[in-house]
Amino acid sequence: MTKRNLKAINIIYWIATIWLALGMTATGLVQIFKGKEGQGGVDMIKHLGYPVYTVTILGICKILGVIIVLIPKFRLLKEWAYAGFFFIMSGAIFSHIAVGDPATEIFPSLLLLILTVVSWYFRPASRTIMTGRNIVFATQ
């Protein structure tokens, strides 16, 4: 791979990762500090048929996931964070579809799912578990 290709891949990774981090942080903080009824996704969670306490759990998981994705070490935890983002967002998409929500309600979750996949796919080798055929330990 040329130096130019690596630079382009690195730019794609950081753009996707920064937007993913901003989206997950924003929604996570809103979910953690949900305040009164109708804020922080409480109405949406009820509309989707989930218990209200899941709002706080999702918010905390999103914030922790953003921290792990952004810090340079802990490769194994990064894989778990990306997997968590994937499951949360794909679950949100299918939940919206199941209750018959319009595409405008599905789009934010779809966008964050796409950003998750792009960030994961274009992450640098220093942030992956596998390097060639050798397994690299998660804390290296």
- The phi, psi pair for 129, rounded to 5°, reads -80, -40
Task: Give residue 130's region: left, alpha or beta (phi > 0; psi -120 to 50).
Answer: beta
CA-to-CA distance for 45 and 39, rounded, in angstroms?
Answer: 11
Q: How many domains does the chain have?
A: 1
Does any domain span residue 124?
yes
**Is 88 inside any structural domain?**
yes
pTM (two decimals): 0.86
Percent of the chain scoring above 70 in pLDDT? 87
| H/E stretch holding 127 | none
- What are the pLDDT digits (tens) for 96-131? 999 999 999 999 999 999 999 999 999 988 888 875
Mean pLDDT of the chain: 88
Tell me: the pLDDT tens digits for 72-88? 888 999 999 999 999 99
66 in a domain, yes or no?
Answer: yes
> What is the span of the domain harbouring residue 80?
3-135
97/26 Cα distance (integer angstroms): 23
First to last CA, the chain: 24
Whether 42 is in a domain gets the answer yes
Q: What percent of the chain has pLDDT over 90?
A: 66
In this structure, is residue 101 part of a structural domain?
yes
| Residue the block writes with tokens 């903080």 | 29
The residue among 39, 41, 19, 46 whose CA lies nearest residue 116 is 19
Whether residue 72 is contained in a domain is answered as yes
- Determine, yes or no, domain membership for 140: no
User: Per-residue confidence at 134, pLDDT binned at 50, 70, 90?
Assistant: very low
Q: Is residue 118 part of a domain?
A: yes
